[in-house]
Chain A
Amino acid sequence: MTQRPVVLSVRGLSVRFRMPGGRVVAAVTDAHFDVAAGECLALIGESGCGKSVLASALLGLLPANAQTAGEARLGDLDLLTADERTLARTVRGRRIGLVPQSPAAHLTPVRTVRAQLAETVAALTGVRGRDALDTATRAAAARAAFPEDHLDRHPHELSGGLAQRAATALALVGDASLLVADEPTTGLDRDLVDRTVEELRRHVDAPDGTGAPGRALLMITHDLEAAERIADRIAVMYAGRIVELTDADTFFGSPGPRHPYSRGLLQALPDRAFTPIPGMPPELGALPDGCAFAARCAWATDACGAVPELTAAAACATAPVTTGGGLPTAAEALRTGAAPPPAAAVACHHPHMPEDIRA
């Protein structure tokens, strides 16, 4: 996995919203991660933890009161500093395909799937001429397993699963090397979740015909089951920070995650203990000093009054890779950006230790 070319490289990404009355909302703080070709990274966390803001930052879709720091490199382009014209003309749809949260809302209600797909094909590929465009449109639908005999339907005439496939077909037209899927399974029943996830995985694994080793997929989700089915790696977000980064097999299997929040999330699943984590996450506009999880954490000690840094998760390694609290300066972000983030890392003063290591 690590030898695969990195498609997206995020270093020290922070997003702040300036609110009326001078309030500042720290939606994302100092995020570091890579996503490689042929790899799916699932960013998990509860609603309001900042994960959708992170996705919007990558796509250049933040509202005007947002401020960003750090960098997010897609090849030689920094998505955070690119201007809107570049993003609109060369990035969204072409270099990043977005699989939206509610496909029915994303599709234009008054136009057929065929018309929308054809327009996107014409805009993003060199295909010209009626017959060629028609062929390319049908091919685009087929790639996302959208049935040809439904192409002349309007979005409201589609089931949730078919609307999702139509939206996926649109996202794939530009042959983007990075796919960003924002809660692609929300509201779908289990069979559809499985099918959507399988299809997304197929697009991650399938070379696009150019010999590239597959696409990179960043999937934002609160659905742990969907994440388990699709992801190679898991990033857990809590109160705007990535608190754990690990292999999906380690996370869902044994020894399991190391951060108390990650462990609590898993224990809340109905096929595990089905017990909630007590309390609620803090407001992003009023984060406590120190570890933001402390008020809910059974392992909290005085040490947790300081923000824990994301550190490599190897048993004895403690190399910090972050700059700690506050909005890091660009220089700091660049400095920390020199080192790639470790494959497995946890931000906790007392991370869970597998028994054999502790003994």
Chain B
Amino acid sequence: MLELRAITAGYDRRTPVVRDVSLTVEPGEAVGLLGPSGCGKSTLARVAALLHRPDSGTLLLDGAPVRHWRHRAPREVRTAFGVVFQQPRLSADPRLRLDDLIAEPLRATGRREEAPDRVAELAATVGLTPDLLGRRPHEVSDGQLQRACLARALVLRPRLLVCDEMTSMLDASTAAALVAVVEDYRRSTGAGLLAVGHDRTLLRRWCDRTVHWDDIARAGGPNPRV
């Protein structure tokens, strides 16, 4: 279970983009967070995935407060999260072959020997053929690269997935395929999900519950830009 309590965060303390926002993802629950671009929902997603330290507020993982973010977070806390972003080209190391990209979190946590089996298994899950695994990001399409990024997010068997606009660059079929992979994974592991996006139809179809940014962000927060 993930609890965000009164989170304030941003890139400049004087003008935080997230102000006093609270949000809970119950065990096994899929929560959709809907909001316009520029509203701060992606920053909140980064806080929730321990990638961005908030200015204030509390984050509880299964009841225990998290005190460190990014590389300073303890390994067992960090590995509880799997994250997928909107733009695979910005989040994938362009030098890595897809199989190394997927295995990267295993290497980083000293579980290198699990890589061959786990990568093969996940490649099949996300629909990547063996010949694609040997290619580098510039040699595959956006859809194929996003499949690899989802496989990487699942490689450590996270208890929580954070998907920030995971499908908004993708065609309808690839989008539906990746959502199906996430849902199969959640069904078999009971993992929770925070799906952030702007597509109401998608989030309502995908998630157990969808909250709108305006309803959780305190009035007086940043106005969505034109």
* Residues of A that sit less than 8 Å from B by CB: 45-48, 159-162, 186-192, 222, 224, 264-266, 268-271, 274-277, 279-280
Q: Supply 17 A–B pairs (Cβ within 8 Å), ascending by A.
A: A46-B143, A47-B169, A47-B171, A48-B143, A160-B38, A161-B225, A187-B168, A189-B36, A222-B169, A222-B170, A268-B171, A268-B173, A270-B201, A275-B180, A279-B127, A280-B127, A280-B143
Least Cβ distance of B141 to chain A in Å? Answer: 3
B174 to chain A: closest residue by CB: A46
Chain B, interface residues (CB within 8 Å), range: 20 to 34
Of the residues A45, A192, A268, A270, contact of B206 by C-beta under 8 Å: A270
Query: Which A residues touch B205, using CB under 8 A?
Result: 270-271, 274
In the complex, are the beta carbons of B198 and A265 less than 8 A apart?
Answer: no
| Docked complex: B146-169 residues within 8 A CB-CB of A | 168-169
In the complex, are the beta carbons of B142 and A271 less than 8 A apart?
Answer: no
* Residues of B that sit less than 8 Å from A by CB: 36-38, 86-87, 127, 129, 141-144, 168-177, 179-180, 198-202, 204-206, 225-226
In the complex, are the beta carbons of A45 and B225 less than 8 A apart?
Answer: no
In the complex, are the beta carbons of A265 and B143 less than 8 A apart?
Answer: no
Least Cβ distance of A331 to chain B in Å? Answer: 34
Least Cβ distance of A1 to chain B in Å? Answer: 26
A286 to chain B: closest residue by CB: B131
A187-B168, A190-B200, A270-B201 given; A277·B173 CB < 8 A: yes
3 smallest beta-carbon distances between A and B, as pairs: A189-B198, A48-B141, A276-B177
Taken together as a complex, chains A and B put the C-alpha atoms of A275 and B172 apart, in Å, by 9
A160-B37, A188-B37 given; A280·B129 CB < 8 A: yes
In the complex, are the beta carbons of A47 and B142 less than 8 A apart?
Answer: yes
Least Cβ distance of B11 to chain A in Å? Answer: 14
Of the residues B144, B168, B180, contact of A276 by C-beta under 8 Å: B180
Query: Which B residues touch A271, using CB under 8 A?
Result: 201, 205
In the complex, are the beta carbons of A190 and B198 less than 8 A apart?
Answer: yes
In the complex, are the beta carbons of B179 and A189 less than 8 A apart?
Answer: no
In the complex, are the beta carbons of A192 and B170 less than 8 A apart?
Answer: no
Pick from B129, B144, B172, B175 the residue with the most CB of A within 10 Å: B172
Pick from B87, B129, B173, B204 the residue with the most CB of A within 10 Å: B173
Taken together as a complex, chains A and B put the C-alpha atoms of A265 and B87 apart, in Å, by 21
In the complex, are the beta carbons of A270 and B176 less than 8 A apart?
Answer: yes
Least Cβ distance of A101 to chain B in Å? Answer: 10
Least Cβ distance of A256 to chain B in Å? Answer: 14
Taken together as a complex, chains A and B put the C-alpha atoms of A268 and B170 apart, in Å, by 12
In the complex, are the beta carbons of B199 and A190 less than 8 A apart?
Answer: yes
Instruction: Given contacts A270-B206, A280-B143, list 4 more A-B pairs with CB under 8 A.
Output: A46-B143, A46-B170, A46-B171, A270-B205
